[in-house]
């Protein structure tokens, strides 16, 4: 499982008592087009809360921390998604983040996480759909300056893997020469094997051709073999040529 980062255009808020709150994870909501459309299934973050030590950061920078789970950072899950609340602490970083959120300088939310399980659909379309069914671990929730630039590198690798499972690469067809060359000439079958099978088959064809067009030293009495007509000769040669075309 590799870390992924997602940002959403759901505003973070500072409540009257000074707490910073928001929904960094929203369930059943289509993401923007990232080369695919992503949703997080309801309940996908529930078990992740138990195995995570989540920090609240500014722009995912661990040096700009303003909250930690179990210290001043709490989470609650409802039908909408996962909500966090960072209660005020007396640190410069917390005060600065709260002021920047109220002033409208930090306008988006983001979270860093791993995916334990996901499902892909519509793989043949221009906009495949990914549904994250269980989040493995949540590393941080962040208020961010630019909420429109998600990191999709890991997800795109997951997409490639899903396509490869559905459409395994087709192997190129393999061909090999026949181990035995068989010729059927005028009802009689001749078979040739071994490394010189093609040469011997060709010799047999030459032999048949010679028999179809015999010659004689008698210039006065030269004629075709009376047992083979011209029509039969043509038919046999056509059968031989069709046989050879297979090789």
The dihedrals phi and psi of 4, each to the nearest 5 degrees, come to -125, 160
Per-residue confidence (pLDDT) for residue 232, from 0 to 100: 57
DSSP secondary structure, 116-157, as one string:
EEEEEE-TTSSS-EEEEEEEEEEEEEEEES-TT--B-HHHHH
Per-residue confidence (pLDDT) for residue 236, from 0 to 100: 63
CB 25 within 8 A of CB 39: no
Owner of token pair 């005060």 = 95
Burial 147-161 (b: 16+ CB within 10 A, else e): beebebeebeebbee
Chain segment 69-88, per-residue pLDDT in tens = 999 999 999 999 999 999 99
Q: What is the pTM of this model?
A: 0.61
* Radius of gyration for the chain, computed over Cα atoms and rounded to the nearest angstrom: 39
For the chain, which ranges sit under pLDDT 70?
Answer: 148-162, 166-178, 213-237, 239-247
Question: CA-to-CA distance for 230 and 121, rounded, in angstroms?
Answer: 67
Chain segment 32-44, per-residue pLDDT in tens = 888 888 999 999 9
Element (H, E) at 161: helix 153-166
Per-residue confidence (pLDDT) for residue 175, from 0 to 100: 47
- Nearest to 49, CA basis, from 69, 33, 28: 69
Domain boundaries, the chain: 4-166, 181-245
- Nearest to 166, CA basis, from 118, 131, 124, 219: 124
């Amino acid at each position: 499982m590799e870390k992924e980062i997602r940002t959403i255009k759901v505003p973070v808020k500072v409540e009257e008592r000074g707490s910073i709150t928001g929904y960094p994870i929203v369930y059943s909501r289509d993401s923007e087009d990232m080369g695919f459309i992503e949703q997080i299934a309801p309940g996908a973050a529930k078990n992740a809360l138990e195995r995570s030590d989540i920090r609240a950061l500014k722009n995912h920078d661990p040096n700009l921390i303003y909250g930690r789970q179990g210290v001043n950072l709490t989470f609650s899950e409802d039908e909408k998604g996962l909500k966090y609340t960072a209660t005020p602490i007396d640190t410069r970083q917390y005060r600065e983040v709260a002021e920047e959120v109220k002033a409208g300088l930090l306008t988006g939310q983001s979270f860093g996480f791993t995916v334990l399980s996901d499902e892909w659909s519509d793989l043949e379309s221009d906009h495949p759909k990914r549904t994250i069914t269980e989040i493995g671990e949540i590393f941080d929730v962040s208020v961010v300056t630019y909420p429109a630039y998600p990191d999709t590198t890991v997800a795109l690798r997951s997409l490639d893997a899903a396509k490869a499972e559905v459409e395994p690469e087709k192997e190129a067809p393999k061909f090999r020469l026949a181990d035995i060359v068989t010729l059927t000439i005028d009802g009689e079958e001749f078979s040739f094997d071994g490394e010189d099978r093609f040469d011997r088959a060709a010799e047999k064809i030459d032999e048949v051709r010679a028999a179809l067009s015999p010659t004689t030293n008698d210039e006065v009495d030269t004629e075709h073999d009376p047992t083979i007509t011209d029509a039969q000769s043509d038919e046999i040669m056509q059968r031989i040529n069709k046989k050879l075309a297979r090789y």
